[in-house]
Amino acid sequence: MQQGRIVIADDDPVIRMDLKAMLEDLGHEVVGEADNGEAACYMCKSAKPDLVILDIMMPKMSGLEAASAISKVRLAPVLMLTAYSEAPMIEEATRAGVLAYLVKPFRKQELQPAIEVSLARYRELQALEGQIDTLHDQMETRKAVGRAKAILMARHDLAEREAFRRLQAQSLSMGKSLREIADAIILTEDLNVARA
């Protein structure tokens, strides 16, 4: 069982009190309580919780609006705790970035699995985003290396293989990445073209 630091937001103080007691019984630490979605967003920014549990209907900013804002900037995974179980509401919660959905009234035994699912899905999401960033960097590096090879081939009348070998040799001798060498060649070429 994974324990975490949790922010809870519900406009009903009795529900917040019960939820806090359940979470603490499960070994979690409640690091913030809010009675509206706007306050929950601010708390997430300052407390940096492992999870935020939101009610849907709250004043100032609904739980769905707060979930969307929190998810958009990856402040924390969001678990929605609400009395609304209609399919359109669940679909809207999913679009807002909610990772788990628990319907009131709920029991303490249902809470921990929902927390575990939220945390696991959030870790998977972060891993996928990391892979996307890596692939994007690799793609940008390939483009830069391709352009730098073309510049070297035109400038020195080289075959593609020899142009790439020179890029690699320069990278090794200077202790710079292939991307940094390619970017430097492209920048130099762009400056030469601008001067001409």
Q: Could you tell me the pTM of the whole model?
A: 0.67
Tally DSSP H helices, then E strands, for the chain. 7, 5
pLDDT tens for 37-75 read: 899 999 888 889 999 999 988 888 888 898 888 888 888
Q: Could you read off the pLDDT of 161-180 as tens digits, one per residue?
A: 988 888 888 888 898 998 99
Express as a percent the part of the chain with pLDDT over 90.
14
φ, ψ at 101 (rounded to 5°): -140, 120
pLDDT in tens, 106-159: 888 888 888 888 878 878 877 777 788 788 888 988 999 889 889 988 888 888
Cα separation, 135 vs 122, whole angstroms: 20
- Tell me the two tokens of residue 23: 């979470």
Residue in 67, 12, 65 with CA at minimum distance from that of residue 44: 67
Domain architecture of the chain: domains with CATH:
5-106 (3.40.50.2300), 131-195 (1.10.10.10)
